[in-house]
Structure 1
Amino acid sequence: MRICKNTDLKKRARELRNHMTPQETLLWNACLKRLPVQIYRQYIIENYIVDFFCRKAKLVIEVDGLQHYSMEGMKYDERRSSRIEKYGILVLRFSNLDIDHNLKNVGQYIDNIIRERMERLDDESDE
């Protein structure tokens, strides 16, 4: 299934790429850019800009600050994730605290999920 993009968000996505949060930068530099698959930063899916996207594994990785833990933020994230998941994409969320205090395990978990999903998606395409 082709992923729809609101191309009007290109400028905003570029701005966000150039001004990532400290935790996004840490996750990117320490883990994601070293993976053997391409990871996109600030990728547009429909009317949303996700923090990181691995097309090959159909995986979105979000780094959540405090605003995501308010009632309004959680409802918004739930709606957003359900729209993204309609493409068969898994959405993983990590808090800023996860990145700050457990970066190695977060990186290993993401790596494991990517490998599992790619293997499963390869198996499905062989059928």
Structure 2
Amino acid sequence: MEEITAYINQIPIKRNFVENLPYNSKLKSRARALRKAGNYSEVVFWQQVHKNKFHSIDFDRQRIIGNFIVDFYIKTLGLIVEIDGESHNDKEEYDDMREEYFKSLGLKIFKTTNLRVLHDLDNVMKELENFIIEHFSIK
């Protein structure tokens, strides 16, 4: 029997916890600094999801996975949420390698952009709902 972790629009969402994720403790202070610095679009997104505001789903901010720090992570789903800004320009090869690494660990990735979060937040949140339903609903 699959464990239900949340409901989105009355649709049960199954737990997909990925165990034993690699963790580079040397990145701990960097992750803390990124949380403190607060990229504006990430802060806007965080206001929508922290304290279980988004369908009672718990989000972590600036989570270390292996040798990388992801913007947001949902442990119960094994889902990374990335908000790409200008720092990702001209880094397609690096981003592709990073994504393949996460996928090899069994993680899913939802990506959006800074501009979309700042100017189209309602639709971004709806797309995140739909992504979670598509990948984690009990069928």
Which structure has greater helix proportion? 1
Helix, strand or coil for the counterpart of 1:60?
A: strand
Alignment match, 2:87: 67
Identical-residue share of aligned pairs (%): 31
What is the TM-score when the length of structure 2 is the normalising length? 0.78
Q: Aligned with 1:10: secondary structure?
A: helix
- 1:58 aligned partner, one-letter code: G
Match among 49, 56, 68 for residue 32 of structure 1: 49
Is the 8 Å Cα contact of residues 52 and 62 (structure 1) preserved in structure 2?
Answer: yes
SS of the residue corresponding to residue 2 of structure 1 reads coil
In structure 2, the partner of 1:18 is 36
Across the two proteins, how many residue pairs are aligned to each other? Answer: 118
Runs of at least 4 residues off by over 3 Å: 115-118
TM-score by length of 1: 0.85
Pairing of 1:1-127 with structure 2 (within 5 A) = 1-29=19-47, 31-33=48-50, 34-35=53-54, 36-70=56-90, 73-120=91-138
For residue 116 of structure 1, report the CA deviation from its aligned partner: 4.1
Point out the structure with the larger strand share. 2
Alignment partners' CA distance in 2, 1:108 and 1:92:
12
Q: Would the aligned equivalents of 2:72 and 2:80 in 1 still touch at CA under 8 Å?
A: yes
- Cα root mean square deviation, aligned: 1.5
Where do 5+ consecutive residues of structure 2 fail to align? 1-18
**1-structure distance, mates of 2:87, 2:74:** 24
